[in-house]
Amino acid sequence: MISSKERKAIINLIHQQVVPAIGCTEPMAVALCVAKARELLGSLPESITLHLSANILKNAMGVGIPGTGMIGLPIAIALGAIIGKSEYGLEVLKGCSRKAVNEGKKYIAEDRIDIKLETEDKDKLYINVVCKGGGHETEATIRGGHTNFVFQRRDNEILLNRRGCEAGCVEKNDVELTLKKVFDFATQTDVDELRFILDARKLNENAAEEGLRENYGHQLGKTLCSPLGKGIMGDSIFSHILARTSCACDARMAGAMIPVMSNSGSGNQGICTTMPVVVFAEENHNTEEELIRALILSNLTAIYIKQNLGPLSALCGCVVAATGSSCGITYLMGGGYNEVSYAVQNMIANVTGMICDGAKPSCALKMTTGVGTGVMSAMLAITHKSVTSVEGIIDDDVDRSIRNLASIGTGGMDTTDKFILDIMTHKHHKK
C-alpha cells in the first residue's frame, strides 16, 4: 500500500508537472526568464543578451508564438520584455495584444536582442538573460526545468543563487516511482483527490475544437476529419482518437492563443497523455471515475518516464506521452497492472528512437504516429500479447525497459542531437 505521506508527494508531483501553458513551452520559458529580468530592471531594457542551450534553441526555432502570427524566439523575447508577467509562469504572454505585437516588431527591428548558443553549461534546459537599461544591469537564469529559476541579480546584488543545484535536483520531489507504484496510485487513491485531472480534459478538448475551427499548421486533424480522411481511415474509434489529438496539436504548434494542459514541461505531451484517453473513454462509455483514473495513470506514467529521461532530449516526447496514453487506454479496456506493463513493453519495442527536431507544426505528425502505436500496443496488451526480453532492448522487468529507453534517449542519442541542431541551424543560415 502507498503511505499517506507518499500519496501526498505524488499528488504534489502531478500538480508540479501538469500545468496550463499557452504556446510552446520552450519559447515561453525564454519569455518567462526575460520577463523576470525586466521586472528586476524596472524599465524596458535597452538591450537583452541571451545564452540558450542547444535544445532550447532547437525547440523554439520553428514554432508559432500565440497571438502574434509570428514564428520563433525574437518575438517571444520582445513580448517577454514588453508585456510579460513572470507570476503567470508558462502563461507569461497571456496579456498579448496587437499593440504589443507591433511594439515587439519595432523592438526587434531596433536590433536590441542578441541570442547566443550556451557552450559552458551542460544542462539541456538552460536559459540565461541579461537586461541592460537606465545604467543598471539585471540577470536571470532558468535551468533544469521550464520555470525553475536558479539565479537572479540586479547590478551587484545577488537576489537568488541556486546555481550549485544539479539538474537532477530541480523541482525535486522525494518520490521514487515504479510502474507498479504509478498503477497502484492511479487505481487505489480516493477518486476525489484525483478529480483535478479533469481540468486537463477541459483545456485540451478546447484546443482540439479550436484546431477544427480554423486552418492551423498542416491541418492533419482536419484532414483526418474530412471526407478524404474518413474514406481512407473510416469513421472509427481509432480515427477519432487520431483526429482529435492532432487537431489540438495543429492549433497549439501554429500559435493559437489557447491554453493547453502540459505534462513535464511540454504542451504536446499534455495533449498526447490526455486526448487519446478522453476520446476512448467517451466512445467506450467508461464512467467518469474510470476516466479520472486512466488520465492519472497516463499522465503519471509519462512523468515517471521523463524522470529517467530529463525534460529535453533528442528523443521525441510523443514517444513518452503516447506510452502514457497507451497505459490509460489499456486500463479503460479493463486491463490490470500486467496488461498495462505489456502496453509499455510494446511501445518501447516500437517507437523508441523517434528524433526530436524541435517544436513545430509537423509535431502533429509525430504525435499521431505515437498515439496510433499507443492504441495498437493497448490492443495487443489487453489480449495478453507483449514483446519479450528475447527481443531487442526489452527487459523482463518493465522498469528496466523504461531505463533502457531513457539511456538511448539521453546518452545514446547525444550525437544525433548535435547533428539535428547542426542541420537546423545551417539550413536557417542559407535562407
pLDDT tens column, 80-128? 999 999 999 999 998 899 999 999 999 999 999 999 999 888 888 999 9
pLDDT exceeds cutoff 90 at 24: no
Which ranges in 110-197 belong to alpha helices (H)?
179-188
The mean pLDDT of 140-155, rounded to a whole number, is: 95
Asked if 298 and 274 touch (Cβ cutoff 8 Å), the reply is yes
At which residue does the C-alpha cell 506514467 appear?
A: 301
pLDDT exceeds cutoff 90 at 23: no
Cell triple for residue 299?
A: 499522465
pLDDT exceeds cutoff 50 at 430: no
pLDDT for position 358: 86
Asked if 11 and 17 touch (Cβ cutoff 8 Å), the reply is no
* E strand residue ranges, 330-369: none
Which of 195-209, 236-250, 347-361 shows the lowest mean pLDDT across its residues?
347-361
Name the residue type at position 74. Answer: P
**b/e for 195-231, b at 16 or more Cβ within 10 A?**
eebeebbebbbbbbebbbeeebbbbbbbebbeeebee
pLDDT exceeds cutoff 50 at 41: yes
At which residue does the C-alpha cell 480522411 appear?
A: 229
pLDDT tens for 269-316 read 999 999 999 999 999 999 999 999 999 999 999 999 999 998 788 899
C-alpha Rg value of the chain to the nearest Å: 21
Rounded distance between C-alpha atoms, residue 122 and residue 109, angstroms? 32
pLDDT for position 170: 43
428 pLDDT band (50/70/90 cuts)? Answer: low
Task: Please name the residues in contact with 422: beta carbons below 8 A apart, sequence gap of 6 or more.
Answer: none
Which H helix or E strand runs over 386? none
Predicted model pTM: 0.90
pLDDT exceeds cutoff 70 at 166: no
Which of 135-144, 194-203, 249-258 shows the lowest mean pLDDT across its residues?
249-258
Reduced to 3 states (helix: H, G, I; strand: E, B; else coil), residue 355 is: strand
pLDDT exceeds cutoff 90 at 424: no
Residue 88, classified by CB atoms within 10 Å of its CB into exposed (0-12), middle (13-18) or buried (19+), is: middle
The mean pLDDT of 215-234, rounded to a whole number, is: 96
Rounded distance between C-alpha atoms, residue 404 and residue 391, angstroms? 13
Residue 355, classified by CB atoms within 10 Å of its CB into exposed (0-12), middle (13-18) or buried (19+), is: middle
